Chains A and B, each alone.
Chain A
Amino acid sequence: MELFANQVLAGIATGAIYACMALAVVMIYQAIDHLNFAQGEMAMFSTFISWQLMQWGVPYWGAFVLTVAFSFAAGIVIERLLFKPLAKAPVLTNVAGFIALYAIINSVAGLIWDFTIKQYPTPFGSSPFLGSQLISTHQAGMIGITLLMLVLLFFFFRFTRVGLAMRAAASLPESARLVGINTSWMIALGWGMAAAIGSIAGMMIAPVVFLEPNMMLGVLIYGFAAAVLGGLSSPFGAVVGGFLVGIFENLVGTYIPGVGNELKLPIALALIVTVLVVKPAGLFGRAIVKRV
């Protein structure tokens, strides 16, 4: 039983990473209705920027704030330059655009900062949290930050004018335009926010997985899986999904014999697909009713 409890705890710790990423994924899905494959790379690039700032002597929280601001701006710029012209293009063409963006960012980051693994500092320290060996203060801090972002997002989407306008623009663009919402800028704003949340996720994840251009690949896959499991329309679902995926992954690795590190991912994904077959809109997503 103790082994089980420990594994669940360790799962929650890794799950926090996925929850962070899933939140960013859901954010952009709310704004633009697509899964952005370049999301992880954008987060990785932001994390490198903060690392560079710290190398130049900026203190941690200063670098943190500057990076979030930079990412927000960069997200808007990317949308305006690259994806606004594609707004009328077919969905699959947009997906190809995400893949292109992925290749560009990955390769540029590799050229600037090369592919060696770098240490990344944490503001929370890495001593054991409340005497537990499985969860460090950094991981506890990461869970705290994820939950804080979730609460802030909830209030943003529920009670602010801009948040409501964004939701309106995403769910019924034409009606939103009729009541005077600038839907095109709402999409840009969505990109900006997703990039900012992604950068926070990146900076929280980097101390755990270490900083290098490919650090986000695995995290993004689990983040997608978590977001889909929780239901793409629900930020709360994304966070719960993240923790569940983390726990799944750990329990599968512990209890099913012969599962090495490599089979963890396929088995976790298979479990998620099984859940989806039973609940096609995810655990907390709303089923969309279609009218013919």
Chain B
Amino acid sequence: MSAAEEVVTEAPAVEAVPKRAMTLGYGTSLAVLAALILIPLFVKNFIIFQMTMLLIYGLAVLALNILTGGSGQFSLGQSAFYAVGAYTSAILMEHAGMNYALTLPIAGLICFGFGFLFGQPALRLSGVYLALATFALATAMPQLLKLGYFEHWTGGVQGLVVTKPDAPFGLPMGQDMWLYYFTLAVSIAIYVASVNLLRSRSGRAFMAIRDNEIAASAMGVDVALYKTLAFGVSAGITGVAGGLGAIAVQFVAPDGYTITLAISLFLGMVVGGVGWLPGSIVGSAFIIFVPNIAESISKGLSGAVFGVLLFLVIFLVPHGARQVAIVAQQLIAKLKKN
């Protein structure tokens, strides 16, 4: 139509978060870590299980955060990668009798490859078009897992039951508690690796692409390579989370990995703050606990209560938990001065 319309200087869809603002300071990190290590010693098994799930979803949100907050690509297909990771672990454990800890890196690698390959056609798409493509992947995954050809391996609609591992070396620990500490160790390793990744040359390339793709390519960043790499890394971490999830829940079935999961992970990222890695755990807490809270307030209207709570959060803090952290930081700085 008009000429003016065709020359759009578009604001980037994802805010430019400087990499220093993507992590927590040392003091705060240690305090959070101490809390995560000590709390399980004093609570019941069910709460330990919930905390395990908190870490697992936290990892999945972190993975999406690297993709969206880091490289500016949007995905509604994370549930598909989560499912592939979960099934890889479950099948290796139940059919091949492999040790649960060994299945995780394999799940991560397979998902990395899957994500990297999916990133190839996705290269040509961005924004809503990419959202639709990833959405297609998420809706297709449960149907693919139900297919008759794979039934021998996947257990079809019924899914697979996974045995929960015992604590090794005769440690005096329940299964739940051992699994929690195991998950915590994996999570910390992945978190530290992600922080370092975003600080590295590759991370800077991701962020350059996020902020301005054309400028990034003019600066010599291989846009195609880093975009697919971001997809691969994100899928790989999601796959490890999926594998851990399968072990924690002791069950995989196609209907556990529908588009609802992908949407939850997306909400978790927004609530935690897009591009702020520590926010992932806050977002994960939101998607695990708020639906339960909504249910307890009103059974019939739980969806509406959830919606209203979500609106409250995005009205008060449109930038998610990151905004809270920044405000708190400024307050502390002020107090120190006085």
Measured CB to CB, the residues of A under 8 A from B are: 35, 82, 85-86, 88-93, 95-97, 99-104, 106-108, 110-111, 167, 171-172, 175, 221, 224-225, 228, 232, 262-263, 265-266, 269-270, 272-273, 276-277, 280, 282, 286, 288-292
Contacts and interface: CB of A to CB of B under 8 A. Distances in A.
B140 interface: yes
A269 B301 contact: no
A95 B270 contact: yes
B267 A103 contact: no
A176 B303 CA distance: 39
B129 interface: yes
A111 B301 contact: yes
Given A266-B143, A270-B140, A288-B6, A97 B303 contact: no
Contacts of A102: 307
B188 interface: no
A288 B8 contact: yes
Q: Describe B's contact surface by its main secondary structure.
A: helix
Nearest to B74: A92
B196 to A, nearest CB: 25
Given A89-B318, A96-B266, 18 more contacts: A35-B128, A85-B315, A88-B318, A91-B13, A91-B14, A96-B267, A101-B311, A102-B307, A103-B310, A107-B300, A107-B302, A172-B4, A175-B4, A225-B132, A232-B128, A280-B129, A291-B8, A292-B214
A263 B6 contact: no
A96 B268 CA distance: 10
Contacts of B307: 99-104, 107
Given A221-B139, A262-B143, A289 B8 contact: yes
A172 B136 contact: no
A288 B214 CA distance: 14
Nearest to B274: A92
Contact of A92 (B129, B135, B270): B270
A276 B129 CA distance: 8
Contacts of B218: 292
A102 B308 CA distance: 11
Contacts of B318: 86, 88-90, 93
Task: Report which residue of A85, A167, A270, A276 has the largest number of chain B beta carbons within 10 angstroms of its beta carbon.
Answer: A276
B121 interface: yes
Q: Which of A88, A96, A108, A110 has the most CB of B within 10 A?
A: A96
B136 A272 contact: yes
Contact of B140 (A110, A269, A276, A282): A269
Given A266-B144, A280-B129, A97 B121 contact: no
B125 interface: yes
20 contacts: A82-B311, A89-B314, A89-B318, A90-B15, A92-B266, A93-B320, A100-B311, A103-B303, A104-B304, A111-B300, A171-B5, A172-B4, A225-B132, A232-B128, A263-B143, A266-B140, A269-B132, A272-B136, A290-B9, A290-B214
A286 B6 contact: yes
Contacts of B6: 286, 288-289
Contacts of B319: 89-90, 93
B215 interface: yes
Interface of B: 1-2, 4-10, 13-15, 68, 74, 121, 124-125, 128-129, 131-133, 135-136, 139-140, 143-144, 146, 212, 214-215, 218, 263, 266-267, 269-271, 274, 300-308, 310-311, 314-315, 318-320
Contacts of B128: 35, 228, 232
A96 B314 contact: yes
Which 10 residue pairs of A and B lie closest in terms of their CB atoms, listed nearest first? A107-B303, A266-B140, A269-B136, A89-B318, A104-B307, A103-B307, A100-B310, A100-B307, A107-B304, A96-B270
A280 B125 contact: yes
Contacts of A172: 4-5, 8
Contacts of B214: 290, 292
A277 B215 contact: no
A269 B139 contact: yes
A273 B121 contact: yes
A266 B136 contact: yes
Contacts of A291: 7-9
Contact of A93 (B121, B139, B314): B314
Contacts of A91: 13-14
Q: Which of B7, B133, B301 has the most CB of A within 10 A?
A: B133
B144, B212, B302, B310 — which one has the most chain A CB atoms within 10 A of its CB? B310
A36 B266 CA distance: 15
A290 B6 CA distance: 8
Contacts of A273: 121, 125, 132-133, 136
Nearest to B11: A91
A262 B128 CA distance: 24
B215 A292 contact: yes
Given A107-B303, A266-B140, A277 B125 contact: yes
A104 B139 contact: no
A265 B133 contact: no
B132 A224 contact: yes
Contacts of A82: 311
B289 to A, nearest CB: 16
A86 B140 contact: no
A269 B132 CA distance: 8
A80 B129 CA distance: 28
A86 B306 CA distance: 18
Contact of A228 (B129, B146, B306): B129
Given A90-B15, A102-B307, A103-B303, A289 B139 contact: no
Given A290-B10, A291-B8, A97 B314 contact: yes
Contact of B14 (A92, A96, A225, A288): A92
